Homo-oligomer: A and B are copies of this chain.
Amino acid sequence: MNKPRLTQASAPLVREIAVVNEHGQPERISIPAERALTVYADKRELVTLMTLGAFPEHLVLGYLRNQRLLPSVADIESVTVDWEVGSAAVKTRSGIDQIEARTAQRVVTTGCGQGTVFGDLMDEVDQLVLPDTRITQAQLYAIVNTIRLLPSVYKTAGSVHGCALFGGFAQEGEHLLHFVEDVGRHNAIDTLAGWLWLQPDGAVPFDLVFYTTGRLTSEMLIKAAQMGVAIVISRSGITQMGHDIAQQLGLCAIGRAANRRFLCYSAPQRLAWEQLTAPTATVSHGV
């Protein structure tokens, strides 16, 4: 595969500021960075993303992928991020097909997010076939615990979303593959998608599990499914369209996951409970 050339632009992820607490006393705390990154594809301005700036090149790749602007990462020659001017210059190998029309439609998404070509995504949902990913309750708890123990901007400064890909459960693992944080959960999942796009065929396990601190809205589940993820775990809850899509896809959506508690919203057959109680089958096939 022709991998794109990427810069490795870095910038401070947190800043220390002075605040006054409820006793009127000064304190110093850390807050997360938030910076504007304007993406240009072949010198055409596409979008400005507000980001923490941890992995800006992967964010740009994931944005291009999840906006369906390019079919393959091999179509990208380079991504050059320059924080001095807040720009990411994408050079493609042969241009973006119908770029005018495809960047004209704006969809503004629910929770924490960004516009995507949502309509197009929904059309493709029916064609997705998810892998036969299954995990045990112990593996679920291990994932949640791994996230809990990771050093993070969230622990230092709060106010960011984290998300991660795990895999290799068929080999009795719960291997953390990649963890990213960003000011918004959409940028975070796009960054993961960009990272995944760069991995050679066969380099990642088939049974990917996606963890997010954010809510499971429709678009988050579609983006996860398009990465080939069949199990999604959230610290937060789910919305109605998220639930509909998870059921439609047979994607196991798990929410409120913390302290050995969780709720399974869909496809419970992908999760092996350790108690004797068998999960009801009514959840996996919705109205």
Residue numbers of A with Cβ under 8 A of B are: 15, 17-27, 29, 31-36, 45-51, 103-115, 118-119, 137, 157-159, 161, 183-187, 215, 217-219, 236-243, 260-265, 268, 273, 275-280, 282-283, 286
Given A18-B283, A118-B48, are A273 and B159 also a contact pair (CB < 8 Å)?
no
A-B contact pairs, 11 of them (CB 8 A): A31-B238, A31-B265, A32-B237, A47-B107, A51-B110, A106-B106, A108-B186, A109-B114, A109-B184, A158-B237, A159-B239
Q: In the complex, are the beta carbons of A34 and B240 less than 8 A apart?
A: yes
Given A50-B241, A239-B159, are A22 and B261 also a contact pair (CB < 8 Å)?
yes
Q: Which residues of B contact A158 (CB under 8 A)?
A: 236-237
Complex: how many Å from CA A23 to CA B261? 9
Q: Which residues of B contact A236 (CB under 8 A)?
A: 158-159
Q: In the complex, are the beta carbons of A29 and B263 less than 8 A apart?
A: yes
Complex: how many Å from CA A109 to CA B167? 30
Q: In the complex, are the beta carbons of B215 and A159 less than 8 A apart?
A: yes
Q: Which residues of B contact A243 (CB under 8 A)?
A: 15, 17, 31
CB distance from A145 to the nearest CB of B (A): 14
Chain B residue with Cβ nearest A219: B50
Q: In the complex, are the beta carbons of A283 and B20 less than 8 A apart?
A: yes
Q: In the complex, are the beta carbons of A273 and B24 less than 8 A apart?
A: yes
Complex: how many Å from CA A161 to CA B215? 11
Given A263-B19, A280-B18, A283-B26, are A33 and B109 also a contact pair (CB < 8 Å)?
no
Q: Which residues of B contact A157 (CB under 8 A)?
A: 237
